Structure 1
Amino acid sequence: MRIEELLGREGPLEYEPAVYCKCKKKAPRWISRSIMNPGRRYYACINRRAGGCDFWQWHDEDSTTPFVKQLLIDLRDKVWALAKENAELRDSFADARSGTEQQLVGTLQWTALTTALADKESEVFSLTGKLKKLETQRQLLVVAIIGCMCIVVGMLFT
């Protein structure tokens, strides 16, 4: 079921009997939203803004009381204000979502960098241990070479 059917609305061309404009086309029936005639229905040429004819006719007589006219105007203004507020909230929500997504990306990047840093620190710790071991071996090698040289020198003089 369409939303128009649920709300009791019909499309601009869904009415009978048909009313035809000077162009011989079925004229859509619109609802006025003007301050002077809120809620009144009228017919106008479907192509009036694109070179169509100047056909225009009221569908019903103006039987709206001043109270109802003002009520319709107030309701129309409220609907427009709520639509504007809704659009602003949607924009605000989209901005918030974008900010949240950027924060998530930043958090993921931070996590990746933290993990990479931890890996590098582990590698530095491992290399530091190897460096100390090699330094100790180098010192032992120097002592051994000096000891061998002393033995060779001692053998030369004996």
Structure 2
Amino acid sequence: MPSSGTSRGSPLSSWDGGGERGRRQPPVPYREGPLDYELPVFCDCKVKAARWISWSPHNPGRRYFTCYNARICFQGIDSFTSPFFVKSGGCGFWETIYEATVEAKPYMKQLLLDLRNAVWSAREQVNGLEAALWDRTVAQHNLQSTPKKESNEVQGLRAAVEKMEAANCVLVDRINKQQTSVLLESVIANWNECKIVVLFEMTVKNQVI
């Protein structure tokens, strides 16, 4: 499950670990502070709980509540090669929000995972370009003079970084729109099922009469 140290996403992520810290951050903010959602849910401390979004392979997009003062730390890899986490702090409150999203549509789960991986890949490329840009900037500063050719290369790297960041934003937007679409489909399907049940009951009643 994902984690954070602030209410709108912090540098700490439940997918962070070692050299993959930046790459494994979630593609969208994974923690919503107590003021960011309604109706309120209170933990055992009688304080409005924080709402989280999971980006684990098994539950992408799953929302859940924990104590606002809780922290979830990455601990390692278990026997099934999956990350596992340990909670600390707070009252230990934990409540899962069951929504008809990933569970109802397995292909949506895979789509969310593919989009998440695409964001991670794009972020990794951005980090590489930023590192290359930083190295080039340091070299320029040390030399105190930059040939025209190197200056053009720096501008090209900067443009590439901006392009990758823009692509990252597009992927995040696609994830948000897809989640909204799945939720609407579920609501419509439930409504249609209710109408069918009502019509069936009316038909049976008329036949009896």
Q: 1:16-38 deviations in whole A, cap 9, x for unaligned?
A: 11100111111111111111110
Amino acid at match of 1:97: T
Gap runs ≥5 in structure 2? 1-27, 72-87, 148-209
* Larger strand fraction of residues: 2
**Alignment identity in percent?**
40
- Aligned partner of 1:63: which letter? T
TM-score by length of 2: 0.43
SS at match of 2:137: helix
Of 65, 87, 99, the match for 1:61: 99
User: Looking at both structures, which has the greater relative contact order when contacts are Cα pairs under 8 Å and sequence separation is at least 6?
Assistant: 2
**What is residue 31 of structure 1 aligned with on the other side?**
53
Are 1:12 and 2:12 counterparts?
A: no
Distance in 1 separating the partners of 2:68 and 2:32: 13
Counterpart AA for 1:93: L
Separation in 2, partners of 1:72, 1:63: 11
Partner AA of 1:16 in structure 2: E
CA contact (8 A) 2:61 2:112 kept: yes
Is 1:83 matched with 2:123?
yes
Partners of 2:49 and 2:31 lie apart in 1 by 14
2-side partners of 1:68 and 1:102: how far apart? 51
Evaluate the alpha carbon distance shift between residue 10 and residue 37 of structure 1 in structure 2; reply closer, same or farther with a 3 A threshold.
closer
How far did 1:82 drift?
A: 1.4
Contact 2:101 2:108 in 1 (8 A): no
Aligned counterpart, 1:101: 141
Structure 1 residues 10 and 44: CA distance shift in structure 2, 3 A: closer
- Cα separation, 2, equivalents of 1:53 and 1:83: 35
Aligned length: 100
CA distance in 1, matches of 2:44, 2:106: 34
Opposite residue 91 of structure 1, the aligned amino acid is A
Q: Which has the larger radius of gyration?
A: 1
- Letter of the 1:104 partner, please give it: Q
Decide whether the 8 Å contact of 1:40 with 1:62 is kept in 2: no
Of 11, 35, 40, the match for 2:62: 40
SS in 2 for 1:76: helix
Amino acid at match of 1:87: N
